[in-house]
Chains A and B, each alone.
Chain A
Amino acid sequence: MTWCIAIFTTAADAAAIVGDLDEERLSIAARDGERAARRWYRRQVLATIGQLAVSPLRESPRLFLLLGLLGVAVMWLLFWGIDWLAGQLVVRVQVYRYVPATLFWSATSLVPLLVVATTISLVMGRRAMAGILTVVGALAVWVAVLDPLLLMSRLPDSRLPGVPEYMAQTIPIFLFHALLLIATTVVGVAMRQRCTRDGTTDGLALAKD
């Protein structure tokens, strides 16, 4: 439980929050019974995760809007840059002798996602999850609105895919990319928290993100 809450805040805050929840759960169990305490606990955990995920967005909406746009723009630029480099590698080193072409191109297409998610998890501190969820939201807007508009401007009507066909192609890829972004951020946040001591603002001022 601490781990689940910790990815949305600092490790020290997560421990204090889970301690508070445990303490109140015990008193509710003594007063109203174990079943009521379990129900209260589940509701509190969900509400707490929701609050911790959303509060950074509410505090600085412009920052997160910018982050969403920047995240997608950086991924797009990295995608084209890495695509060009990978093309050069294929021509000069003949990579296909060592790695199957499908694996090679799939791996290169994932690098921009890994770079963006890792950067956000290391730079944004306790707001990393809110940051990556914003980027996923911006990516959803790209897939749902901008990408179809680009396709319509580039392809003749006869070659345009139908809506069900487009959705069948893009939704699984989008979901995979969204999961990869979130999973990479979770791993990055967990690693950062292992390396950084979270602290309080009294006495020794330790790393407080």
Chain B
Amino acid sequence: MADYLGEFEHLVLLALLRLGDDAYGVTVRQEISHRTGRDVSVGAIYATLSRLEAKGFVRSRLGAPTAERGGRAKRHFRVTARGIAVVERTHHALRRMAEGLTLKGSPA
């Protein structure tokens, strides 16, 4: 059976694609918060990124330690080819499901 993304996994992958090389915990959290209004914890982001990494949709690398982070390194993430494919598949499935639907009560 083909892989599909859960709702939060989908948001995280889209945030990574938007952020490109600047994607790490803080920016991913802020991007999701800024665009969706959802206040998510850093733990939720990392738990999801770990899962996506285990599935091969994301790769990570450690950056250089910085002073404002107490000498700790950033963990940068980027989407793999498999990750892009699964985003496309999920988008396609959502588009097909929404095709021709008019949602009553939705804002004009």
A binds B: yes
Pairwise interchain contact B43-A51, C-beta atoms closer than 8 A: yes
Contact of B46 among A17, A26, A199, A202 (CB under 8 A): A17
Q: Tell me if B81 is interfacial: C-beta within 8 Å of chain A.
A: no
Pairwise interchain contact B59-A13, C-beta atoms closer than 8 A: no
Interface residues on A, range: 20 to 34
Interface centre among B41, B43, B68, B74 (most CB of A within 10 A): B43
A59-B74 CB under 8 A given contacts A17-B42, A44-B42, A202-B61: no
- Binary interface profile of A, 45-57, with partner B (CB < 8 Å = 1, else 0)? 0011111100100
Pairwise interchain contact B53-A201, C-beta atoms closer than 8 A: yes
Pairwise interchain contact B68-A26, C-beta atoms closer than 8 A: yes
- Binary interface profile of B, 5-37, with partner A (CB < 8 Å = 1, else 0)? 000000000000000000011100100000000
A13-B46 CB under 8 A given contacts A51-B41, A200-B60, A202-B61: yes
Pairwise interchain contact A24-B50, C-beta atoms closer than 8 A: no
Residues of A within 8 A of B66 (CB): 19, 23
A59-B68 CB under 8 A given contacts A9-B46, A20-B42: no
A52-B46 CB under 8 A given contacts A47-B41, A200-B61: yes
CB of A186, distance to nearest CB on chain B (Å): 18
Q: Tell me if A143 is interfacial: C-beta within 8 Å of chain B.
A: no
CB of A62, distance to nearest CB on chain B (Å): 16
Pairwise interchain contact B26-A202, C-beta atoms closer than 8 A: no
Contact of B75 among A12, A24, A50, A203 (CB under 8 A): A12
Q: Tell me if B69 is interfacial: C-beta within 8 Å of chain A.
A: yes
Pairwise interchain contact B50-A13, C-beta atoms closer than 8 A: yes
Pairwise interchain contact B62-A16, C-beta atoms closer than 8 A: yes
Distance, CA A22 to CA B25, complexed state (A): 12
Q: Tell me if B107 is interfacial: C-beta within 8 Å of chain A.
A: no
Pairwise interchain contact A17-B25, C-beta atoms closer than 8 A: yes
Q: Tell me if A21 is interfacial: C-beta within 8 Å of chain B.
A: yes
Distance, CA A96 to CA B89, complexed state (A): 69
Pairwise interchain contact A200-B62, C-beta atoms closer than 8 A: yes
CB of B57, distance to nearest CB on chain A (Å): 11
| 8 Å CB interface, A152-203 against B | 199-203
Interface residues in chain B, defined as those with a beta carbon under 8 Å from any beta carbon in chain A = 24-26, 29, 41-44, 46-48, 50-51, 53, 59-62, 65-66, 68-70, 72-75
Known: A15-B73, A23-B68, A52-B47. 7 other contacts (CB 8 A): A19-B65, A23-B26, A24-B26, A44-B42, A51-B44, A55-B43, A200-B60
